[in-house]
RNA sequence: GUGAGCGUAGCUCAGCUGGUGGUAGCACCGGGUUGUGGCCUCGGAGGUCGUGGGUUCAAGUCCCAUCGCUCACCCCA
């Protein structure tokens, strides 16, 4: 058996990469419009960074991190999420001194050692977005609306749920009320819930058992226990979201898996991915910067989108994504003399910006035509012995099957110009939507 | 970490109660067309049946182990 990729690690093959580029290009464009700058941080960090930010007691830190000792014996970890690294860089470089409000995003691979399943891999990719230095509820709404717009522009419909988790001032009291409630219901709820009542009471309300849910209908919910500051923040966030006409439902049972969240939390949900319902999620983390050694009281909010999940959804929702861009021209040379003429010509055309291919091993014309067809060449330039003798080359339009002779005189540059002109003329007269050279988005845009 | 399902050609899959691996489809290469793609047609190449053991005269098929994949639980993007 030949060597395979690691469990949960996937190759993104040439035929699928177009969808990725499309999503990434759309995301970058949205980020630009909203005033975000990209930041690229290392994939490997000190283990302590994640332990301190995500939380020692979370599943991620307890059992899912790719941690190992490097050659010095220091414990290092491949990042399981993006926020911690971005905040570390923000603090390390004092970015708040450049602009009081920093809007940052990063796109890249994350690593968690979990059992893979649909929409969940050990190496996966996220768009991770953070805003540091502002705690206004309108920012919460703006960020959520931005994520909504991004999903919309990619072509996905999801549902949005939001909640508030309160702050260190109001959450403990709520937690206590909840624990008391659960203790009273102990006999009536499932074993899982009983166990979690102690380990992570906030999570209990998330239970999927309908029997448990029946009991929890009267459970105390966090949004009824918010302090005045948090309650006002939540109300204003919702009002601002309404101004932007982003539809959302309040889910008081929604809990996040990372310890650092405060106040606003949100999830973008789909029912089309099996067990993995969240395509994106995030929330406010007002204490985190300080906790990591940054400025006191520095607020923050962010979210992450799971790119694999977006790709899955897009693939199953929109079948006709254009794969592999068509090439502009295939040069078919017959015989050594023609090949020697064609070779530098191809190079010249490429320098001029055309996407040009050529067979290098002197195959038959039929074989070369086949190759041209497979690579979806819009035109083929046939340079054979007969044409060479006549001082001509034949330009074939592969969609209309029309052929025209071009004079093959003087410098390659002259032919190059003739060719480009001829191609441009024909293209203008009859272009095909999918075969036209794609814009800055590169390959794989959905067909208009 | 727990549970279930599945491993036969590059891909999708047939293969019955054990009896020679399939004219299988798609893809690939070549011919028909001595210089013109798609369609058609003819041919070709491609396999340690995941791996290792066992039962048997005989195992792709039955049994055991192991590895891998998939889905689900847990949790998460």
Same domain, A310 and A346: no
Q: How far is the CA of A359 from the C1' of B15 (A)?
A: 42
Q: Which domain holds residue A56?
A: 14-170+226-317
Can you give the pLDDT at residue A433? 36
Adjacency order of strands within the sheet including A75-78: A44-46, A75-78, A66-69
Q: How far is the CA of A381 from the C1' of B76 (A)?
A: 54
| Inside any domain, residue A6 | no
Same domain, A262 and A338: no
Q: What pTM value is reported for the model?
A: 0.88
Can you give the pLDDT at residue A119? 92
Please state whether beta strands A123-132 and A102-111 pair in parallel, antiparallel, or not at all (unpaired): antiparallel
The nucleotide lying nearest A306 (C-alpha to C1') is B77
Q: How far is the CA of A1 from the C1' of B17 (A)?
A: 33
In tens, the pLDDT along A52-77 reads: 999 888 888 888 999 999 999 999 99
The nucleotide lying nearest A305 (C-alpha to C1') is B77
- Contacting residues for A246 by C-beta, under 8 A, at least 6 apart: A141, A144, A145, A148, A160
Residue nearest to nucleotide B74 (CA to C1'): A59
Same domain, A371 and A258: no
- Are residues A123 and A9 in contact, defined by beta-carbon separation less than 8 angstroms? yes
Q: How far is the CA of A367 from the C1' of B28 (A)?
A: 13
Same domain, A358 and A424: yes
Strand B contact nucleotides, protein CB < 7 Å: 1-3, 28-31, 33, 35-38, 48, 50-51, 68-77
Which residue, of A273, A296, A317, is where some domain finishes? A317
Same domain, A388 and A239: no
| Inside any domain, residue A197 | no
Same domain, A345 and A382: yes
Same domain, A285 and A384: no
In tens, the pLDDT along A10-59 reads: 989 888 888 899 999 999 999 999 999 999 999 999 999 999 999 888 88
| Inside any domain, residue A33 | yes
Q: How far is the CA of A443 from the C1' of B58 (A)?
A: 55
Can you give the pLDDT at residue A376? 87
Same domain, A246 and A312: yes
Give the CATH number, domain containing residue A377.
Answer: 3.40.50.800
Tokens representing A440 are 């800055």
In tens, the pLDDT along A328-358 reads: 999 999 988 899 989 999 999 999 888 999 9
- Are residues A280 and A147 in contact, defined by beta-carbon separation less than 8 angstroms? yes
Same domain, A305 and A390: no
Low-confidence ranges of chain A (pLDDT < 50): 431-448
Can you give the pLDDT at residue A443? 39
Q: What is the ipTM of this complex?
A: 0.86
Q: How far is the CA of A421 from the C1' of B30 (A)?
A: 37
Can you give the pLDDT at residue A316? 81
Count structural domains, chain A: 2
The nucleotide lying nearest A366 (C-alpha to C1') is B36
The nucleotide lying nearest A118 (C-alpha to C1') is B71
Task: Measure the CA angle with vertex A444, ends A441 and A445; round to 5°.
Answer: 60
- Are residues A230 and A167 in contact, defined by beta-carbon separation less than 8 angstroms? yes
């Amino acid at each position: 058996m030949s060597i395979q990729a690691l469990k949960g690690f996937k190759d993104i093959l040439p035929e699928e990469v177009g969808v990725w580029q499309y999503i990434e290009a759309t995301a970058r464009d949205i980020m630009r419009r909203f005033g975000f700058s990209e930041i690229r941080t290392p994939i490997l960090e000190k283990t302590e960074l994640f332990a301190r930010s995500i939380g020692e007691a979370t599943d991620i830190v307890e059992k899912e991190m790719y941690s190992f000792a490097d050659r010095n014996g220091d414990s290092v970890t491949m990042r399981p999420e993006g926020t911690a690294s971005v905040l570390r860089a923000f603090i390390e470089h004092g970015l708040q001194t450049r602009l009081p409000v920093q809007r940052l995003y990063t796109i890249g691979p994350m690593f968690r050692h979990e059992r893979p399943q649909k929409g969940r891999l050990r190496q996966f990719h996220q768009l991770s977005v953070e805003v540091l230095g502002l705690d206004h509820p309108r920012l919460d709404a703006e960020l959520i609306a931005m994520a909504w717009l991004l999903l919309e522009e990619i072509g996905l419909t999801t549902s949005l749920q939001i909640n508030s988790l309160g702050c260190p001032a109001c959450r403990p009291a709520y937690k206590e009320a909840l624990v008391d409630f659960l203790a009273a219901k102990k006999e009536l709820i499932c074993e899982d819930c009983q166990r979690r009542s102690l380990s992570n009471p906030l999570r209990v309300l998330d239970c999927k058992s309908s029997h448990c849910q029946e009991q929890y209908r009267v459970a105390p919910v966090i949004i009824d226990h918010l302090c005045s500051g948090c309650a006002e923040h939540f109300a204003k966030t919702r009002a601002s979201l309404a101004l932007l006409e982003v539809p959302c439902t309040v889910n008081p049972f929604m809990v996040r898996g990372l310890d650092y969240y405060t106040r606003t939390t949100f999830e973008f949900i789909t029912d089309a991915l099996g067990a993995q319902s969240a395509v994106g999620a995030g929330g406010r983390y007002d204490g985190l910067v300080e906790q990591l050694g940054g400025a006191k009281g520095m607020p923050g909010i962010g979210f992450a989108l799971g790119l694999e999940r977006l790709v899955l959804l897009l693939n199953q929702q929109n079948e006709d994504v254009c794969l592999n861009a068509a090439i502009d021209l295939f040069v078919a040379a017959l015989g050594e003399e023609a090949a020697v003429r064609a070779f530098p010509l191809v190079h010249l055309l490429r320098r001029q910006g055309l996407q040009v291919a050529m067979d290098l091993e002197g195959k038959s014309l039929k074989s070369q035509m086949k190759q041209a067809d497979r690579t979806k060449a819009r035109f083929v330039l046939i340079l054979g012995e007969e044409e060479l003798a006549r001082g001509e080359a034949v330009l074939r339009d592969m969609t209309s099957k029309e052929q025209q002779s071009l004079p093959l005189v003087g410098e390659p540059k002259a032919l190059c110009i003739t060719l480009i002109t001829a191609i441009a003329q024909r293209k203008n007269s009859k272009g095909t939507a999918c075969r036209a050279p794609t814009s800055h988005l590169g390959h794989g845009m959905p067909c208009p």
